[in-house]
Structure 1
């Protein structure tokens, strides 16, 4: 645009090519600043997941009482799973403490478990059971279910070897990768 035409356009209050570009750049800058300040919302809201206390079924027949060690490992497994699922951005995960669950559902029937988890704000529920059949062989049954319907959304039966802290830690890491990479069934 020539200088005389530019001056005439400004005098008449008409937008010029330069002012249009400047306005667009200002708008883009404001939008970028807004996204940088507020962050971009995810395409879908992160669901609330409640991790129920993980149970142990020990049919190994070992003479040594390992109840205290197993209780610790079960709590660490549940805590770690809730923390890691939240950290990965997959869920807003919390644990339902065993004492609260015992008071709410003494019989631990399915309908009561769903109700107790929903009362804690759950959209989905993690249910886990570890079966120790011998010193070396353990199996972890893991389910994620819809808190409203009770329908399985994710189901894995994982075997791991060794009843040690390291073996349990590796099993937990593998379970997390299965949940992260396996995805849940569409509801």
Structure 2
């Protein structure tokens, strides 16, 4: 019996896109049609049959992913895709075909699935069996937790020394920018977070560390799930502390915070300390929390 046709898949996509609940909570998945190559050198031209079977394969795969409402199919990353599925099928002989399938975590720019499968036969039944197996593999890969959209705001300086020299303002700004860049890079490379662009928002309300949690509402307007603010407290020219706080963008609730305690070192060591603090107190702790659920 044939699997669902493209018409059924199109109807499913329409229904999902029209559902407010699905649009808000389902994880976006982009998937282009797989490529197909026949290098078997068989004398009979089977192009029409292969096009039909590939269309049925893709329709069934899209249907399987869309069922249950956990995922929604979208055209591209610009349309909200968290994952992208790509692949290709190659026929190498009368009885042997290969399917290469990859699933990309778009935010983290990492592969969560990259496998080569073989299946025997080139008839409707063989293609259907292959789709069932590939579908299970893709769905398992999509079970990887989607990255959290995080608005990581620029780190701020709280200078507690008696003399806040204007001459050092430029160098302070440079070191703060290095901290912010280093922290965002570490968060993005962890695969757990997708960094939301906050350019143009910093400074609109003054120091975010003193705004009573306003960073959460700013993050929500930017489409982020969470907000992060950080501060360097200069105690003396060679002593400082680092702190950060993460809030839920919807509720404003504090989800995580960390403080380095007093540290010794010049201002050029701020970046190293901040990245270490974020790695130890946020990234690693969250990964440890997630581990039992996988």
Shared fold by TM > 0.5?
Answer: yes
Q: 1:183 aligns with which of 272, 283, 286?
A: 286
Distance 1:25 1:41 in 2: 24
Distance 1:138 1:172 in 2: 11
Residue 12 of structure 1 corresponds to none
Q: Tell me, which stretches of 5 or more residues in structure 2 are unaligned?
A: 1-119
Shift of 1:34: 8.3
Shift of 1:163: 2.1
Residue 90 of structure 2 corresponds to none
Distance 1:62 1:107 in 2: 20
Does residue 147 (structure 1) correspond to residue 249 (structure 2)? The answer is yes
Distance 2:175 2:196 in 1: 17
More strand by share: 2
Q: 1:116 to 1:34 in 2, by over 3 A?
A: same
Shift of 1:30: 7.1
Q: 2:155 aligns with which of 30, 54, 57?
A: 54
Kindly tell me the number of residue pairs found equivalent between the two proteins.
162
Higher relative contact order (CA 8 A, sep 6+): 1
Q: 1:46 to 1:67 in 2, by over 3 A?
A: same
Does residue 123 (structure 1) correspond to residue 228 (structure 2)? The answer is no
Q: 1:176 to 1:157 in 2, by over 3 A?
A: closer
Does residue 157 (structure 1) correspond to residue 259 (structure 2)? The answer is yes
Does residue 169 (structure 1) correspond to residue 275 (structure 2)? The answer is no
TM-align CA RMSD:
3.4
Q: Is the 2:215–2:227 Cα contact (8 Å) retained in structure 1?
A: no
Q: Is the 1:53–1:95 Cα contact (8 Å) retained in structure 2?
A: no
Q: 81-90 or 105-114: which moved more?
A: 105-114
The structure number with the bigger radius of gyration is 1
Q: Is the 1:101–1:116 Cα contact (8 Å) retained in structure 2?
A: no
TM-score (norm. length: structure 1): 0.70
Map of 1:90-105 to 2, 5 A cutoff? 90-97=192-199, 99-103=200-204, 105=205
Residue 40 of structure 1 corresponds to 141
Q: 149-158 or 108-117: which moved more?
A: 108-117
TM-score (norm. length: structure 2): 0.47
Q: 1:112 to 1:142 in 2, by over 3 A?
A: closer
Distance 2:215 2:242 in 1: 19
Query: What's the secondary structure of 1:48's corresponding residue?
Result: strand
More helix by share: 1
Q: Tell me, which stretches of 5 or more residues in structure 1 are unaligned?
A: 1-21
